[in-house]
Structure 1
Amino acid sequence: MSTPTLGPSLPLDLPTPPPLHLSSSYTSVISIGGGYADSRSRARSESQTRWQLDVEQDEPELREYQLKDLPYADVELDARKHRSPNFATVLLSLFRTLRIPGWSSHRLTPANVHLQKISGALTNAVFFVSYPQAPKPPTLVLRIYGPSSSVLISRPSELQTLHILSSQYSIGPKVYGTFANGRVEQYFPSRTLTAAEMREPQMSQWIGMRMRELHSVDLERVVQDDISLPGVWKNITSWLVPARDVLGLLAKVPLPLQHKWANISTDIDLHRFAQDVSTYQALISSRTPPVVFAHNDAQYGNLLRLTKPLRTPSSSPLAGATLPPQHQLIVVDFEYASPNPAAFDIANHFHEWCFDYSRPVETSWYLERANYPTLGKRRNFYRAYLGHSATEEQLDQLEREVREWSPASHAMWAVWGLVQARDDVIGLVNEGVKAEGGDFNYLRYARGRMEWFYRELQDLIQLEKPQLA
């Protein structure tokens, strides 16, 4: 499907409320340059899942996004079968087809292939693939796309971004090749951060420094899409329609009151939500900061800490030198990266302080507000992000921007959660209330993020009332 840009109103045939003009002038403390690029549509089709219910039309065949100069293999992997003996056999054949260095030897046997599933990845299934026996080829990262991710993500844009970031900025992993529903990436000797570790003062400073480096990337080099509007508005617009379809399916299933998804289809009013997002957008539109290249998903599962220090490349004048301490962190998963105000990316990261996706499925979706960083912890992050020479005025300005863009993060991920719940809802339609769903409660997550959007929007409106008087 193509990615629509946000026009005068959000979808669902709703009128846009009149703009709320603010009397105060606005200049952002973030002034990293950016530029415009040609827009590019996406043509990713849905997965090949077949439903046991009447639908208007069948889903089209799965098609692969291929990037020029990247090897491709016409293979589709099922992440649910990664423990089956045949999975390793298919993997070895895939790696040979992609001609991945070290993995083409016919001495390698499926029995010695070791897969480690990585927790914290909510959109895709991610594995570390290693071969502990001789000849010990390099460890790889195998990423199998989630079945609903094609609705949410432009894979061609993501691959282009990864290629440019790794080749021109030494940010993120190299992509070795793609296959029908995933890709194979460079592995860094590392581990993902934990939820608690991400909140430590020193680690928070490193994340702030790395985020500033990412925000300094030249948009014209990395982004192929139109950046006339922040990516968050485009995402909400394009995701609302499939989210409405998911709620429509859910409403057809009679659920007992004690069911974990009972009342969600009635609790979530997408028409009202779209109108309120438009009101919110109008509220902050007159003072939107410059957009930067934003990661938009800086949660602990997307932040790797190296277990061995990296050194500068041999081609560098400083070859062999140890990199700065913050470069112990490697940022991965750029599938949601897009132009956004820096404050949106920071606000979104602060929300991730409140989640622990490693908890049992019953509670992993829950936003623990008590873990949200205090003002002192936020300012610790801001100083690292802006530099220790930042003035108090700059710190205060960034805090205001983060507060203003915080509801946008809740809104975007609320709609995302509904779209991601598609397979769970299809399971309900096909199997009834006995369907248990996957290993993450996307529907409860979506409802929770929407509730926080409304709370923070009301807080923001209350703060704006003196200016609007």
Structure 2
Amino acid sequence: MDGGSKCPRGQLLHLDVCVDEQKPRGGVLELLGRLRPQWKPQDIKMKVFTEGITNQLMGCFVGSLQESGAVLVRVYGRMTELYVDREREVEMFQILHTHNCGPQIYCSFRNGICYEFVRGTVLDDTLLTQPAIYRLIATEMGKIHSIKLESDNPVENILWKKMAQFLKLVHNALSNTTAPHSSKLLQEIPSIETLSDEMETLKRHLSQIGSPTVLCHNDLLTKNIIYDNKEGMVRFIDYEYADFNYQAFDIGNHFNEFAGTSDTDYSLYPRPELQRDWLTAYLESYKHSVGLEATVTELEVQKLYVQVCKFSLASNFLWGLWAILQARYSSIDFDFERYAITRFDYYFEKKEEYFGLTLS
């Protein structure tokens, strides 16, 4: 190894280290030797977090994990480079940190990144329905959606490009007759032709309902929200999919995550009353952050409510495709097949109802 070098990613330090997913300590100590040279190897503690379903995440610290200086080491999941733009991820880290909405990224390495530990606890699913908590989440999302890049070039909305990329990868994966596919998955998911038709239907319908393009997290499941009870605040982490997208997609995607991941249960999808209160807090934050009068009208809430319902369909469709890819490539112990089937089932269950909603 050559130690480290600067790379063109906003002058981020890059270390020529590969962390073994099965035996990570040796590689992690190499990284910390550069990032925290004052730490004695024998004093370094590592806590493996198991919440992620695509990556391995370790907190590294001396003393207490909640003390300043702790480092998170994220080892990328197998084959995730097929559908995650790692340079864009680093760029999103840097943008969000610059606007006080994300942790500092310290370095990249051959199969991962190191970044600042965000103090607090991973949000528990049961807290999502508590007004004091979900209003914090809505407020934080409003701040992030208000971020503008210092560029005269128009931003590109990535949703349809990303969805088409996933669909192509799914087609390639399922066309490989030598791959060990589950008969359950192949029998219960729609055909490639049906998926392709559905994507075009979604694109035609959703492109015409006026949701603005903003900077989105795009993957705001519970485990990507850190709650600091002492400070009374939340922070979002993990920006693998962060990019410019429809405002209503990011919100609808978060609402879908109320159903959970390991044991997905759509009876937990937020009731309209909760959604409207959430959206009111969001609009107050967003309007305040972009310099507008923060008063929110019922008409504004209703319009956003309808847009979010519709874009929640796109969220289920996108992550259904993603789960098929994970079932094909991931080495992580998770029932991605069942997750894909559940996502598509709910998409088709709600499609007619949500397509029928009007903005007026």
| Same fold, judged at TM 0.5 (above) | yes
Unaligned runs of 5+ in 2: 1-5, 285-293
Aligned residue pairs, count: 342
Question: 2: CA distance between counterparts of 1:232 and 1:201?
Answer: 30
Larger % of helix: which?
Answer: 2
Question: 2: CA distance between counterparts of 1:379 and 1:386?
Answer: 10
Question: 2: CA distance between counterparts of 1:411 and 1:137?
Answer: 40
Unaligned runs of 5+ in 1: 1-63, 256-260, 310-324, 358-363, 425-436
Structure 1's 68 and 345: CA in aligned 2 closer, same or farther, altered over 3 A?
closer
TM-score after normalising by structure 2? 0.87
TM-score after normalising by structure 1? 0.68
Question: 2: CA distance between counterparts of 1:214 and 1:307?
Answer: 21
| 2:214 partner SS | strand
CA RMSD of aligned residues (A): 2.6
Return the letter of the residue paired with 1:118: F
Task: Specify which of 312, 322, 325 is matched with residue 416 of structure 1.
Answer: 322
Structure 1's 462 and 306: CA in aligned 2 closer, same or farther, altered over 3 A?
closer
| 1:421 partner SS | helix
2:168 maps to what in 1? 241
Question: 2: CA distance between counterparts of 1:161 and 1:173?
Answer: 11
2:72 maps to what in 1? 141
Task: Specify which of 420, 434, 447 is matched with residue 341 of structure 2.
Answer: 447
1:67 maps to what in 2? 9
Task: Specify which of 86, 89, 93 is matched with residue 30 of structure 2.
Answer: 93
Question: 1: CA distance between counterparts of 2:108 and 2:220?
Answer: 24
1:299 maps to what in 2? 221
Return the letter of the residue paired with 1:421: A
- Deviations, residues 8-51 of structure 1 (Å, cap 9, x unaligned): xxxxxxxxxxxxxxxxxxxxxxxxxxxxxxxxxxxxxxxxxxxx
Runs of 4+ in structure 1 off by over 6 angstroms are none
Question: 2: CA distance between counterparts of 1:279 and 1:93?
Answer: 50
Instruction: Work out whether 1:265 is the aligned partner of 2:178.
Output: no
Percent same amino acid at aligned positions? 24
Instruction: Work out whether 1:184 is the aligned partner of 2:114.
Output: yes
Larger % of strand: which?
Answer: 2
Return the letter of the residue paired with 1:344: F
TM-superposed CA distance for 1:252, in Å, is 5.4
Task: Specify which of 209, 212, 220 is matched with residue 142 of structure 2.
Answer: 212
Question: 2: CA distance between counterparts of 1:282 and 1:348?
Answer: 19
| 2:337 partner SS | helix
TM-superposed CA distance for 1:394, in Å, is 1.2
> Residues 2-401 of structure 1 correspond to what in structure 2 (within 5 A)?
67-82=9-24, 87=25, 89-97=26-34, 100=35, 103-105=36-38, 108-109=40-41, 111-132=42-63, 138-167=69-98, 169-220=99-150, 227-228=155-156, 230-249=157-176, 253=180, 261-268=182-189, 269-306=191-228, 309=231, 325=232, 328-355=233-260, 357=261, 364=262, 366-387=263-284, 389-401=295-307
Are the counterparts in 2 of residues 205 and 384 from structure 1 also a CA contact under 8 Å? yes
Are the counterparts in 1 of residues 15 and 110 from structure 2 also a CA contact under 8 Å? yes
- Deviations, residues 368-423 of structure 1 (Å, cap 9, x unaligned): 11111111111110111112731111111111111121110011101111122223
2:290 maps to what in 1? none
Return the letter of the residue paired with 1:381: W
Question: 2: CA distance between counterparts of 1:396 and 1:197?
Answer: 25
Structure 1's 66 and 91: CA in aligned 2 closer, same or farther, altered over 3 A?
farther
TM-superposed CA distance for 1:159, in Å, is 0.6
Structure 1's 65 and 299: CA in aligned 2 closer, same or farther, altered over 3 A?
farther
| 2:334 partner SS | coil
Structure 1's 248 and 444: CA in aligned 2 closer, same or farther, altered over 3 A?
farther
1:13 maps to what in 2? none
| 1:81 partner SS | coil
Question: 2: CA distance between counterparts of 1:147 and 1:66?
Answer: 24
Structure 1's 459 and 307: CA in aligned 2 closer, same or farther, altered over 3 A?
closer
| 1:287 partner SS | coil
Question: 2: CA distance between counterparts of 1:307 and 1:184?
Answer: 25
